[in-house]
Amino acid sequence: MKENDSSEMALFEQCVDFLNNIVGIETSFRKIGNKSFLPGLLISKGTIIIDKEALEHPGDILHEAGHIAIVPAFERLGLSEKEIIKRKNREGEEIMAIAWSYAACIYLSIDPFFVFHEEGYRGGRDFITDSCRDKNYIGLAMLENIGMTVNEKKAKRSNLLTYPHMIKWLRA
């Protein structure tokens, strides 16, 4: 990570604090070299391992946390990035991780482009951010289905806040 970009570093530290103290996803710092899918981030046993020197896009931490957050609790502690790729519902989980990370940005008052940067999402960044801006949230129905948030209609009936507000940050 560019040490001289203090605003990006402050956002990254805010994300780490959020994950450790509000969500309950552990982070740790150590050298990982090129052992990971995303430069500077590795998921191992449900923990996000961070190599600050190799980290290219600090906002990726929220997306990776989304992968951990949306799996069932009994699977979380054994989760690694190699297992994420092999999961039966990996495409759906990828969409839920996108929706989760967007909700995290809104909760933290962080510009979503911090997570949805130009080099990520296989050229789909604008589709994702445009959909969110238009409130056509991809992944909302799936997050609802696993009890993490609600849509506007259900929120009005149950007196809850609607997505991108989350009822809970970790799947049961």
Region 29-43: mean pLDDT is 90
Region 25-52: mean pLDDT is 93
Greater pLDDT, 163 or 35: 163
Lowest mean pLDDT among 37-41, 59-63, 144-148: 37-41
| Domain residue spans of the chain | 6-158
With CA atoms as reference, report the closest residue to 42 among 84, 14, 71. Answer: 84
At residue 3, the pLDDT reads: 56
Q: What is the pTM of this model?
A: 0.94
Contacts of 118 (CB under 8 A, 6+ apart): 125
Measured CA to CA, the distance from residue 31 to residue 5 in angstroms comes to 20
Neighbours of 12 (CB within 10 A): 22
At residue 2, the pLDDT reads: 57
Terminal CA-CA length for the chain: 33
What pLDDT digit, counting tens, does each position of 77-130 carry? 999 988 999 999 999 999 999 999 999 999 999 999 999 998 888 778 999 999
What is the three-class DSSP state of 27? strand
Q: Left, alpha or beta for 24 (phi > 0: left; psi -120 to 50: alpha)?
A: left
